[in-house]
């Protein structure tokens, strides 16, 4: 009997074999015994552990302050205070394993309820091409390789920076969570849709300007990070739909040829192509801006080991594929080009897929099984064709009628596997970028439970998707006196307040 390789949390929880992994047929996937526990038992365990967390620590007396460190709370006491916050699926009969799954200190608890704490970055310099997709990520997706998970999350955080920049009022300078990257150029997308003049007065809350800031180009500029990754990385980052005109372009679902004079038959969605190729007033098209900046950076760092990464969410995911396709032929001897996309729709037809793949572009699509955006455009989702139709005349007929085909490999996550999100999470949550990153951080393999040592902060998820988070998490977060409607700075102030459990832990450590 085989188990998920390199997954230490599963080594002691082997269950009956299931079907082979759809992402890696050579690996036999097993479900953990932890999944067999009734949900009610798991919830009771989480609530019991969380109640321990909320017990107020006894304030130290003056005499206690003068005693030796042996009188301070022990490490085991701290663990009892914070053991619940991981809130992963646990076996009620294995108390030792439950303790191992819990945070080991109040500092760890603070990290979970403060800004994102990324997983440690391992050295991938010897195998960076593999993680960049040279072999189409064979053997890395199911089970998910820890190094690849870290690279995917890094891309997702760069996209989060694009959203944060766009929605700041007024838009500020791009602030990257990854300080090893430096922004070299801003990118704008322009719509060709013409709205009537009266539209702005009717829906003033929608931006109707034709050109909008949509992302940026950045380059890794930190020598230590370059050594870790084994190359200097150039990244193009694109946000999702945010303006009225971008929404209008999304619904222009007709297929248009990329290059009418060529006979390869490659076609893409009309709205995506419009946003990609339309220039604005005194603003280059997104296509021209990306090509110009990437060529400049390639000339600047000529002779170095380079890679090009394109990443985006939703609309940005679709545009990322168009960017990668064009960059692959804009210059001879181009560095390896890969796309890491989140919640992306289909972009073009089968001829376009063949074109992208023949040019050596690698595409990894992160898809939530319950995200409706990943099933459009098109009326007949090919992903749900019954197995008996695969390869048959029925599949060929559906392809002719539908036209749209996904490109690249797929990493499929499931929001219903999350111990934090409600199983009936609404469509907006299923498409939310932070929800995607939460799911990637916890994904181990198909039919395996959520990763118990996931490190990603829950604050942004609680802030953005509070209505889709299980009530127990909302209640307990409020129990530790965190105002989830506050911003990052306010939350940090709450964490440092004298009445905070975290402040008490700092007092202990200062002794």
Any idea which residues carry the catalytic annotation? Answer: 314, 371, 431
Angle at the Cα of 433 (from 432 to 439), degrees rounded to 5? 95
Helix 75-82 with 501-510: angle, nearest 10 deg: 170
Cβ neighbors of 413 (< 8 A, separation 6 or more) are 366, 367, 368, 369, 436, 439, 440, 443
Distances (CA, A) of 477 to 78, 84, 85, 113, 481: 18, 12, 9, 8, 7
Q: Which of 444, 355, 337 is nearest to 407 (CA)?
A: 355
Give the length of the chain: 511
At which residue do the structure tokens 């995607």 appear? 436
* Torsions phi, psi for 303 (to 5 deg): 95, -15
Q: How far apart are CA 484 and CA 491, in angstroms?
A: 8
Q: How far apart are CA 270 and CA 79, in angstroms?
A: 56
Cβ neighbors of 397 (< 8 A, separation 6 or more) are none
Q: How far apart are CA 234 and CA 371, in angstroms?
A: 29
Cβ neighbors of 56 (< 8 A, separation 6 or more) are none
Q: How far apart are CA 119 and CA 57, in angstroms?
A: 30
Alpha-helical (H) ranges within 183-285 are 199-202, 223-229, 244-250, 270-277
Angle at the Cα of 472 (from 466 to 475), degrees rounded to 5? 75
Q: What six digits make up the tokens of 163?
A: 């959203």
DSSP-derived 3-state class of residue 483: coil
Which DSSP state fits 417?
G
Q: What six digits make up the tokens of 211?
A: 């050109």
E strands in 314-386: 337-342, 362-368
């Amino acid at each position: 009997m085989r188990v998920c390789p390199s997954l230490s949390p599963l080594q002691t929880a082997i269950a009956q074999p299931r079907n082979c992994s759809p992402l890696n047929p050579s690996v036999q996937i097993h479900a953990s015994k932890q999944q067999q526990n009734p949900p009610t038992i798991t919830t009771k365990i989480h609530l019991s552990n969380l109640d321990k967390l909320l017990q107020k620590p006894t304030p130290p007396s003056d005499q206690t302050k003068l005693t030796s460190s042996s009188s301070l709370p022990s490490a085991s006491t701290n663990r009892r205070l914070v053991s619940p916050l991981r809130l992963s699926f646990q076996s009620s009969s294995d108390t030792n394993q439950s303790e191992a799954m819990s945070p080991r200190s109040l500092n760890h608890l603070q990290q979970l309820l403060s800004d994102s704490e990324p997983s440690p970055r391992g050295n991938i310099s010897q195998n960076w091409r593999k993680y960049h997709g040279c072999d189409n990520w064979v053997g890395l997706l199911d089970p998910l390789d820890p190094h690849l998970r870290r690279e995917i999350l890094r891309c997702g955080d760069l996209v989060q920076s694009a959203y944060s920049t766009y929605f700041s009022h007024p838009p500020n300078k791009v602030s990257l969570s990854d300080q090893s990257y430096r922004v070299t150029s801003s990118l704008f997308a322009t719509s060709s849709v013409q709205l009537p003049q009266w539209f702005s007065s009717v829906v003033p809350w929608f931006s109707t300007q034709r050109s909008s800031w949509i992302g940026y180009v950045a380059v890794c500029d930190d020598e230590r990070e370059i050594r870790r990754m084994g190359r200097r990385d150039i990244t193009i980052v694109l946000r999702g739909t945010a303006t009225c005109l971008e929404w209008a372009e999304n619904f222009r679902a007709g297929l248009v040829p990329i290059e009418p004079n060529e006979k390869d038959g490659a076609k893409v969605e009309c709205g995506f192509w419009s946003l990609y190729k339309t220039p604005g007033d005194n603003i280059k098209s997104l296509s021209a801006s990306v090509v110009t900046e990437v060529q400049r950076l390639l000339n600047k760092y000529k002779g170095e080991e380079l890679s090009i990464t394109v990443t985006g969410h939703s609309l940005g995911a679709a545009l990322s594929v168009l960017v990668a396709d064009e960059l692959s032929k804009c210059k001879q001897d181009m560095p390896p080009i890969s796309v890491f996309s989140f919640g992306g729709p289909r972009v073009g037809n089968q001829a376009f897929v063949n074109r992208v793949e023949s040019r050596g572009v690698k595409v990894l699509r992160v898809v939530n099984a319950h995200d409706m955006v990943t099933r459009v455009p098109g009326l007949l989702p090919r992903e749900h064709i019954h197995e008996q139709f695969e390869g048959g005349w029925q599949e060929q007929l559906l392809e002719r009628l539908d036209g749209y085909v996904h490109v690249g490999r797929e990493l499929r996550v499931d929001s219903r596997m999350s111990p934090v999100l409600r199983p009936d999470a609404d469509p907006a949550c299923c498409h939310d970028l932070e929800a995607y990153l939460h799911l990637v951080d916890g994904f181990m393999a198909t039919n395996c439970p959520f990763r118990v040592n996931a490190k990603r902060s829950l604050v942004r998820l609680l802030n953005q998707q509070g209505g889709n988070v299980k009530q127990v998490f909302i209640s307990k977060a409020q129990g530790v006196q965190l105002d989830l409607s506050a911003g990052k700075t306010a939350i940090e102030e709450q964490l440092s307040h004298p009445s905070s459990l975290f402040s008490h832990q700092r007092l202990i450590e200062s002794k």
